[in-house]
């Protein structure tokens, strides 16, 4: 079970260029791991652009932003280019990391049940421990909440 104060589950996923990225690559840095449902949808685009626009603030506190969704490497590449996203997007098409972090859940829309990503952000400290979990994220104002949290760790 994912919990604050526990070690973050390790993983290796391909980024938007197909290069393998591991959580251990970022030891010594704060990591903002944000899980989102789908490239090029309104909420996900807004969230990505909010992180993009606030990235200088994350850089000042030596924090790395990583987006994770079940979209393909190719989809991530196009999404990143279209919105000029200056951070890596990780592809979890097999949903292994999504399940490890407990964000692959049954959802419901208009009475129809389906499996999908519950928008979640996990803040990981320099030692690889989970400092904060934001579940069922509402996009508006979320990036500011994350920045404030990072300043406190």
Domains by residue range for the chain, with CATH: 12-139 (3.40.30.10)
Tell me the pLDDT tens digit for each residue of 52-105: 999 999 989 999 999 999 999 999 999 999 999 999 999 999 999 999 999 999
pLDDT score at 6: 96
CA–CA separation, 63 and 113 (whole Å)? 36
Tell me the pLDDT tens digit for each residue of 74-89: 999 999 999 999 999 9
Span 113-135, average pLDDT: 96
Pairing label, strands 120-124, 112-117: unpaired
Q: Which residues are catalytic?
A: 44
1 pLDDT more than 80: no
User: Exposed (0-12), middle (13-18) or buried (19+): which is 83, by Cβ within 10 Å?
Assistant: middle
Smallest CA-to-CA distance from 116 within 126, 124, 106 is with 106
Tell me the pLDDT tens digit for each residue of 17-35: 999 999 999 999 999 999 9
Instruction: Output the pTM of the full model.
Output: 0.95
Quickly state the pLDDT bin for 152 (edges 50, 70, 90). confident
Share of the chain above pLDDT 90, in %: 93
Share of the chain above pLDDT 70, in %: 100
């Amino acid at each position: 079970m994912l919990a604050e104060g526990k070690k973050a589950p390790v993983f290796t996923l391909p980024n938007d260029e197909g290069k393998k990225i591991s959580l251990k690559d970022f030891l010594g840095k704060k990591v903002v791991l944000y899980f989102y449902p789908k490239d090029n949808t309104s909420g996900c685009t807004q969230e990505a652009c909010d992180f993009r626009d606030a990235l200088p603030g994350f850089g000042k506190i030596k924090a790395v932003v990583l987006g994770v969704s079940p979209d393909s490497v190719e989809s991530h590449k196009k999404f990143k280019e279209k919105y000029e996203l200056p951070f890596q997007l990780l592809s979890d098409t097999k949903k292994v990391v999504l399940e490890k972090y407990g964000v692959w859940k049954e959802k419901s829309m208009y009475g129809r049940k389906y499996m999908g990503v519950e928008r979640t952000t996990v803040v990981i400290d320099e030692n690889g421990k989970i400092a904060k979990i934001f579940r069922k994220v509402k996009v508006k104002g979320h990036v500011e909440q994350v920045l404030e949290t990072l300043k406190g760790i």
